Structure 1
Amino acid sequence: MTVLEASQTPGSICTGIARFDVTGRKLLLPLMTPLGTRFLAAAFRAFGVSAEVMETYKGLAYGREFTSGKECFPCQVTLGDILYHLEKEKERLGSAFSADRYVYFLPESDGPCRFGMYNKYQRLILDRFPEYRDIPIAYLSTQDAYAVAGLLPAHRARYFRRLAYVATIISDVMDRIVWRVRPYERRRGMTDAFMEVSACAMERLIEEVGGRRDFRALYRLLEDVASTARTFIDPRKPRRPRIGIVGEIYLRTHPDSNQDIIRRVEDLGGEVVDASIGEWINFVSYEHSRKLKRQCRLARRRGDRKVFREALQKLVVQEVENAWQRWRQNEVYRVVRRRLDIEPDHSIRSIERFLDQGRHFNFDVGTEAALSIGGALSYLHEGFNGIINVFPFTCMPSTMCSAVLKPILHEKRVPYLDAPYDGSYQPNREAALRTFIYQARQHQAAQGNGRHTP
């Protein structure tokens, strides 16, 4: 297998893993966060790319057939999704099926996380099927802070990235509207029904106005959604214990893979806030700035003026991008928070401060563990009544997170639960969740924070 370079000529035909102009093909996206992936697909469509979110979890048997079990669980899920989707396309189209009509979109990360190898491994699997060998894999990488250069023509790529970022933050906020309202809804099911209609409307609007980046139109719809959802809250219902979820990004946001843990915690009497997708994107951008700063320092020590200038120029561009992301994120949250008291998102700087200058963990180590540990301590500072760490079985960053958080939260008498998943149903999971929620209620009673503020 040849991994094609990101600098490949845009628009060229490739069957490996590369960044290339995906215009003119059907872009297949594996679902991760339900709203976020749908809105990302709508953002692609706003820029003329025929993007489709694949059905998820129905092809898990395919994923398991072509993996050994040592892989990270999301690798099995996403591999199953693409194989299942292609099989259904073959059945639907028959002899008209042609692999070169499709592009499989599968981002990656650098560092020790196995996620960085998903697209390489899945390329090998697709190549085992002669009819799938002509399906290229397009990717984004944390190595350059998810730069989209190459996926679209150069004059459109920057604007697409901005729309994709805002769409992601909007999906985060709509999730938080659901989590704030659903536990207290006047009639069971009304929140989910309304938010599905709202999500479809937001998808259509992103596709319609995204190309011209009319963010104000998106904000107006979002504000209307928050205003209506607020009326669903029954003020007679007391405030529940608040539970913060941290952990591996795919597992904590993919309901099928985590056995719908958010809804289950709500059924047992909790109110949940899950770490956002925006938090991860901001962390990747922040880490890219840190990397460029290190390059500047090293080049200056060596007296290499050329490398120093190049790194400094990239750093300035990245810092401007980081500032723009913070501004847009705050803007979106501000629109909704004047209508409904959803939880604000954690800034990356505040998360780093909660690591206590490296005493608990350090950003230099990298991985999601830094975010999970700092995010959990941020929840603690905000008065949350329990922390759940959701992750794939054998996940290294989340295992480190567990090792650090358990003694800290035990000392502070805050309930903590590890929730590893591998697709199996563990017989003690229900008992563990019930016990955890009972402890969270005790913590809430001891803190006296059960008042309801709609």
Structure 2
Amino acid sequence: MPVEEIVLTDFEVEIQARIDAERARLRAEAGLARMREFKKPVERSFTGPERDYVTILFGGLTWKHEEMIKAVFHGSGYRCENIPTPVVADFQAGKEFGNNGQCNPTYFTVGNLVRYLQSLEEQGQTKQQIIDNYVFFTAGSCGPCRFGMYEAEYRFALQNAGFEGFRVLLFQQTDGIKAASGEPGLKFSVDFGMGMLNALNLGDVINELVYQIRPFEVTKGETDRVIRESVKTLTDTLRDRRRWHILEAAPGWAKPFLEGHAKFTGISCTLGKVAQNVYGKEYVDALHACRDSINSIQVDRLRVKPVIKITGEFWAQTTEGDGNFNMFAFLEREGAQVLVEPIATWIAYMMYVAKEGAKARAYAEAPYRDPKWYEVKKHLANELKLLKKTGGLSAGSAMWGYFYHRTIKHLGDTAHHLIPQKELSRLAHPFYHQLARGGEGYMEVGKNVYYTVNHLCHMVLALKPFGCMPSTQSDGVQSRVVNKFKDMIFLPIETSGEGEVNAHSRVQMALAEAKAKARAEFDGVLVQTGKSLEDLREYVDAHPKLKHALYKVPHREGVAGTAAQFAWHVSDLMDRDRKYRRPARVSLPASQVA
């Protein structure tokens, strides 16, 4: 080896040694000399034998979703309880036991869990009994926002509250609908997985029906009563339905063959279980019973109410308590109709982003880079690798949409269908890239544009935690969106454990504009149809089916309000009804009609 290279190597070694020595000196001065690399704490396993006495806790969704999920857990042989809806006291407990600088959902959910465990202790259980007999099941993520710190925050707060060692099982957001707990005590069987799919879909559709019907109910409180009875019917079915197995269903002559062909039996049993969970008579009959019960609610759709579309961060736009300033109940008290967002949209978004991300990385991950045009095998190898990644996601997305829309169909077919993620991405792309990760990504912008340009609401209200990084990015973009769409009413509200009065005041100001927009729309319909409000009500009274809660009103392009849509439809019925002949009256705006 040349002398020059030996001298150069020695020189580099000396420089590196001096750098290391100086780094060690500075670390010692800062008190970091003994700092060790962080390692994730080893969690005690939740094992199969513990299922008989360990209770799984969960929460954070609407009560409809939670009752459905609890029924599936119970039906699969697990002990399960949902934690009550978080309140401000939970937020305060989260700040007391957790780190500073966390976002609103963290404080509410962490404090909610700690206070629930404390209530168990007040009832006579020891801390060790609680640690041994309960586990918490929740969503997790790798980020990029503070959502990625939820798991660590749960453990830190539990430790500070005296429940060190309490087990937390995670459902990983970034792994789609695959659980990441890896715990043998929580098995994801076909029955359990299909039950959860049904539970989420039912929770979403029932939740939308509540907000679709309740603002127009004739008898106050009837919607809540009927929905609770319907939810009980559905949860009883999810919990108590018979678990199908091919060896029990097959005729006697086929059983010897099935017992001798385990692989064929396993595949057939899986397909049969999927069909039984979705198409089984017991399940479908329960859906139809609930549909008929809900349809019996009497409504008055000629009440003019602005439609307020809810978007924003997942937790803040889903919870129904102090975590979002009880915003849904407030909007209804103020005379609005709330259009909630289903969890199904979030799951469809995760699958779409995973697929588009795989496409974007296809070149970098291809087995062969820049093959010649005639190298067919290399081209096929590249395409096959991409297809393996995207094919399953495409099929999963199609099946997810199919099962969701099928649930809508069996429950009256009046809930909104899922918006294609490709369409949301297209609308958002001029303002927000589809692969920009975090929170709801491009969906906050995409939904704002979609519901505005398609005249599906009068106002978009975006709910997000104070300081939420992904939603802050979206809000920064929304200013440009609002400048482009001049008729858009968009209001972002940051939620916290305080400031409810101020938030409600801001919403009231924007809501006044939305009410005026809805009223002008309805008055315009009366003028265009030549019918008075009295004429419409008289015809509706003569045709009782128009008062049924699940009567499907055809959508008319360019009209957002339920009252305006219904007025157009009733007017069309009157024009086509040969038995109904009445001289036209001078139409007055609804605001002038007593």
- What CA distance in whole angstroms lies between the structure 2 residues aligned with 1:180 and 1:192? 12
Partner of 1:351: 424
SS for the counterpart of 1:254 is coil
Partner of 1:144: 175
1:103/1:210 CA distance change after superposition, 3 Å: farther
Query: Identity over aligned residues, as a percent?
Result: 19
Partner of 1:431: 505
Candidates 405, 409, 417, aligned match of 1:330: 405
Shift of 1:118: 0.5
Candidates 188, 204, 222, aligned match of 1:172: 204
Shift of 1:77: 0.8
Candidates 106, 109, 126, aligned match of 2:158: 126
Partner of 2:432: 361
Check the 8 A contact 1:238/1:451 in 2, yes or no: no
Candidates 68, 85, 100, aligned match of 1:39: 68
Partner of 2:372: none
What is the CA deviation profile of residues 159-181 of structure 1, one whole-angstrom value per residue up to 9, with x for unaligned ones? Answer: 42332122111111001111110
**Which runs of structure 2 are paired with 1:23-62 in the superposition (5 Å)?**
23-24=51-52, 25-58=54-87, 59-62=90-93
- 1:378 aligned onto 2:458: no
Check the 8 A contact 2:219/2:298 in 1, yes or no: no
Check the 8 A contact 1:47/1:211 in 2, yes or no: no
What is the CA deviation profile of residues 228-278 of structure 1, one whole-angstrom value per residue up to 9, with x for unaligned ones? Answer: 333324336334221111001111111111122112111112111111111
1:46/1:246 CA distance change after superposition, 3 Å: same
Partner of 1:157: 189
Partner of 2:395: 320
- What CA distance in whole angstroms lies between the structure 1 residues aligned with 2:46 and 2:451? 38
- What CA distance in whole angstroms lies between the structure 1 residues aligned with 2:220 and 2:291? 18
Look up the equivalent residue of 1:362 and give its one-letter code: H
Check the 8 A contact 2:367/2:381 in 1, yes or no: no
1:91/1:188 CA distance change after superposition, 3 Å: same
1:342/1:313 CA distance change after superposition, 3 Å: closer
Check the 8 A contact 1:148/1:161 in 2, yes or no: no
- 1:192 aligned onto 2:221: no
1:105/1:112 CA distance change after superposition, 3 Å: same
**Which runs of structure 2 are paired with 1:199-238 in the superposition (5 Å)?**
199-209=231-241, 211-212=243-244, 213-216=276-279, 217-235=282-300, 237-238=302-303
- What CA distance in whole angstroms lies between the structure 2 residues aligned with 1:41 and 1:306? 45
Shift of 1:433: 2.1
SS for the counterpart of 1:31 is coil
Check the 8 A contact 1:32/1:254 in 2, yes or no: yes
Q: Greater shift after overlay, 424-433 or 412-421?
A: 424-433
- What CA distance in whole angstroms lies between the structure 2 residues aligned with 1:421 and 1:260? 10
Q: Greater shift after overlay, 210-219 or 179-188?
A: 210-219
- What CA distance in whole angstroms lies between the structure 2 residues aligned with 1:127 and 1:309? 49
- What CA distance in whole angstroms lies between the structure 2 residues aligned with 1:155 and 1:374? 37
What is the CA deviation profile of residues 191-232 of structure 1, one whole-angstrom value per residue up to 9, with x for unaligned ones? Answer: 112212222222222112385553344443334333333332
Shift of 1:312: 4.7
- What CA distance in whole angstroms lies between the structure 2 residues aligned with 1:228 and 1:269? 25
- What CA distance in whole angstroms lies between the structure 1 residues aligned with 2:242 and 2:510? 43
Q: With CA pairs under 8 Å and 6+ residues apart, which has the higher RCO, 1 or 2?
A: 1
Shift of 1:184: 0.3
How many residues align? The count is: 439
CA RMSD between the two structures:
3.0
Candidates 414, 418, 437, aligned match of 2:488: 414
Check the 8 A contact 2:92/2:497 in 1, yes or no: no
- What CA distance in whole angstroms lies between the structure 1 residues aligned with 2:424 and 2:170? 28
Please say which structure displays the higher CA radius of gyration.
2
- What CA distance in whole angstroms lies between the structure 1 residues aligned with 2:214 and 2:67? 21
1:161/1:295 CA distance change after superposition, 3 Å: farther
Look up the equivalent residue of 2:336 and give its one-letter code: G
User: With structure 1 as the length reference, what TM-score do the two structures score?
Assistant: 0.87
What is the CA deviation profile of residues 7-45 of structure 1, one whole-angstrom value per residue up to 9, with x for unaligned ones? Answer: xxxxxxx636x8976844211102322222322222222
- What CA distance in whole angstroms lies between the structure 2 residues aligned with 1:134 and 1:433? 43
- What CA distance in whole angstroms lies between the structure 2 residues aligned with 1:215 and 1:301? 40
**Which runs of structure 2 are paired with 1:202-351 in the superposition (5 Å)?**
202-209=234-241, 211-212=243-244, 213-216=276-279, 217-235=282-300, 237-256=302-321, 257-300=323-366, 302=368, 312-338=387-413, 341-351=414-424
Look up the equivalent residue of 1:214 and give its one-letter code: N
Listed as ranges, the gaps of 5+ residues in structure 1 are 5-13
What is the CA deviation profile of residues 274-300 of structure 1, one whole-angstrom value per residue up to 9, with x for unaligned ones? Answer: 111110011112222233334543221
Check the 8 A contact 2:139/2:171 in 1, yes or no: yes
- What CA distance in whole angstroms lies between the structure 2 residues aligned with 1:210 and 1:394? 47
Look up the equivalent residue of 1:3 and give its one-letter code: K
Check the 8 A contact 2:367/2:382 in 1, yes or no: no
- 1:73 aligned onto 2:133: no
- What CA distance in whole angstroms lies between the structure 1 residues aligned with 2:384 and 2:47? 28
Shift of 1:93: 3.8
1:400/1:346 CA distance change after superposition, 3 Å: same
